[in-house]
Structure 1
Amino acid sequence: MSFEGVLGIVQYVMNLVGILAFALSGAFLGVRKDFDVFGVVMLAEAVGLGGGVFRDLVIGVRPVAFSDPGYFCAPIVGGLVVFHSARLQHHARAFDLFDAAALGLFSVTGATKAFAYGLNPEAATTLGFATAVGGGIVSSVLAMELPPLLRADRDLYALPALVGAGGVAVLHHFQLLNEWTAPAAAALAFGLRVLALRRNWRTSRSRFWRNPFAGMRHVPEPPRPEADLGHMEDSDHHTVLLRRPRTGQLPPPHHLPRTTQPRPGRTTPR
C-alpha cells in the first residue's frame, strides 16, 4: 500500500482509537477531581482532541476534530461511560493503560501526518511528540495539576512519545513506512510506557538541585551578638534584669522575677 493509503486508512483508525483512549483517561481524571458530568466530558474532549488540534494548527489545515463527527463524538461517549460506570472507576490501573495506548498511537499519527504535508524529519518528530503529550498537558492545566510530562515522580512519559515519533521518522527515511510498520512503531512506544509503569522506570534528575551544597566548603555561622537586656518590675516595684533567651528556652531560675507573696514581717495591705 502507498503512503497515501497509510494516511487514509491506518491513520484514521489509529486516530479514532487514540482519541477514545485519551478521552477515557481524561474522564477518569475529572471523576477523581469530583467534576460534574459537563466537567468530565469537557476534560475528555480536551485530552482527546487537544494534541490533534495543535498538530493541525501548526501544519496549517483545518482541525479534523471540527470536520469529522466521529472525532468529536468519541470523547463524549468515553466521558459518559466513565462518569456512569462505578465499576470502571475502581480500576485506576486500566486508565494508565488507556493513556499509554493513546500516547503511542498519537506519537505515530502526528508524525505520519507531518510527513504527509512535507515537513522534515526533525519537525515531524517534534510534532508527533507534541501531538502525543499535548492533550494531557491541557487536561492537567484544566484540572489544576502539574502535567505528568513535567513531574519527576512519574514513570517514563516523554521518552515513549519520542520513541514512537522517532521510529516513524526512521521508517520514513528508509521508505519502510506502511500499514504494518506504523502500528508496530505505536506498539513499541506503548510497550515502553507499560514497562515503565510496571518497573517504575524514571528519568534522572539533577543531583546538584537535590543537594545544592554538594562540593561546597562549609561556611561557619557567624557569632551571634549578645542578646539585648530587658527589664520588668515585680509587685514590689523592684527592677529585675532579664536576659532574653536565644533558643526560646526559659531564663535561669535566679533571673526569674520574685513572686508576689508578701515579705516576712510586713502586713498585707487591706
Structure 2
Amino acid sequence: MSLPLTLPPLAPQIGPVLETLSIVGTALFAASGALAAARLHQTLVTFAFFALVTGVGGGTLRDLLIGAPVFWVADPLPAIACVAAALLVWMTPRHWWSDRALDWLDAVGLAAFAVFGAAKALSFGIHPFVAGIMGVVTGCMGGIIRDLLAGEPSILLRPEIYVTAAALASGLFVTLAALGVPVPVASVIAALAGFALRAVAIAKGLALPGYRRG
C-alpha cells in the first residue's frame, strides 16, 4: 500500500527564488570542484571537467530518478556557469583561496542545492518524504563525485556533519511547504538553516558519533 501524497496542492512551482538557489548552488559547487583540481595542480581542461561534474552531478542523478529532463541538458546555463567558475578559479592567484575555501563554497552549495532538489521533486509529484531524500541526493552527490575524482576520502566516510545539513535543509523546506509557508520564504529559511548547521560544523569541528560495538 502506497503512502498518500500530502502536498499535491502545495507542490511548489520552480520560481525565481528557487531558480536562484539552483544557479548559485551549481556555480559554488563547480568552484569547489575547480579548487579540488587546483590542489592537484591540474590543467584547465581538468579544472573544467571537475567543475562540471561537481556542479551538475547531484542534479543529474535527481532528474534521472524523478523522471525529469536533465536540467543542464535542457538548459545550457548551468553548464556555462560551471565552466565560468572553473575559469575564474584558474585565472585568480592561488593565495586568494584559503585552504578552507572549498569547505565554505561547498557549504553554501550544499544548502542551496538541497532545497532546490526537494522543491523540484515536489513539483514533479514526488511524495514529500522521498522529495526530502532527493534534496539530500542533489546536495551531496556532486561533492561525493568530486572527492572520488580527486582521490580524497568520500564525505560519506568522514564523521563530520555534512549529509545531516543537507537533510535539515531539504526536510525543513518540505515541512514548511506542508504548513503553508510561501515557497520563497520556506526556501530561504531552509537554505539558511542547512548552511548554518554546516558552518558550525566546519568552524567547531562538530561530528556525529561513530558506531561502537560492545
CA contact (8 A) 2:29 2:106 kept: yes
Give the secondary structure class of the aligned counterpart of 2:125. coil
> Do structure 1's residue 181 and structure 2's residue 186 form an aligned pair?
yes
CA contact (8 A) 2:58 2:142 kept: yes
The one-letter code sitting in structure 2 at the alignment partner of 1:95 is L
Distance 1:95 1:119, change over 3 A: same
> Do structure 1's residue 192 and structure 2's residue 175 form an aligned pair?
no
Distance in 1 of aligned mates of 2:148 and 2:30: 15
Distance 1:167 1:127, change over 3 A: same
The one-letter code sitting in structure 2 at the alignment partner of 1:59 is I
Give the number of the structure whose residues are more often helix, by fraction.
2
Question: In the TM superposition, what whole-angstrom CA distance separates every residue of 1:138-172 from its partner, at most 9, and x where no partner exists?
Answer: 112222222112213xx311110000011012112
CA contact (8 A) 2:177 2:186 kept: no
Cα distance, 1:134 vs structure 2: 0.8
Equivalent position of 1:10 in the other structure: 17
Q: Structure 2: any 5+ residue segments left out of the alignment? A: 1-8
Distance 1:191 1:111, change over 3 A: same
The one-letter code sitting in structure 2 at the alignment partner of 1:180 is V
CA contact (8 A) 1:55 1:131 kept: yes
Cα distance, 1:99 vs structure 2: 0.6
Pick the aligned partner of 1:166 from 166, 171, 182.
Answer: 171
Larger radius of gyration: 1
Cα distance, 1:190 vs structure 2: 0.3
The worse-fitting range, judged by mean Cα deviation, of 90-99 and 14-23 is 90-99
Cα distance, 1:5 vs structure 2: 7.3
Distance in 1 of aligned mates of 2:45 and 2:155: 23
Cα distance, 1:20 vs structure 2: 0.6
Equivalent position of 2:129 in the other structure: 122
Pick the aligned partner of 2:207 from 202, 208, 220.
Answer: 202
The structure with higher relative contact order (CA 8 Å, sep 6+) is 2
Cα distance, 1:207 vs structure 2: 2.5
Aligned Cα RMSD in Å? 1.8
Q: Structure 1: any 5+ residue segments left out of the alignment? A: 209-213, 215-270
TM-score by length of 2: 0.90
Question: In the TM superposition, what whole-angstrom CA distance separates every residue of 1:178-220 from its partner, at most 9, and x where no partner exists?
Answer: 2122111001100110011111100101233xxxxx6xxxxxx
Aligned length: 206
Distance in 1 of aligned mates of 2:129 and 2:186: 19
Cα distance, 1:29 vs structure 2: 0.5
Query: What is the aligned-residue identity percentage?
Result: 31
Distance in 2 of aligned mates of 1:89 and 1:37: 18
Distance 1:187 1:106, change over 3 A: same
Distance in 2 of aligned mates of 1:162 and 1:105: 12
Distance in 1 of aligned mates of 2:182 and 2:70: 24
TM-score by length of 1: 0.72
Cα distance, 1:175 vs structure 2: 2.0
CA contact (8 A) 1:133 1:149 kept: no
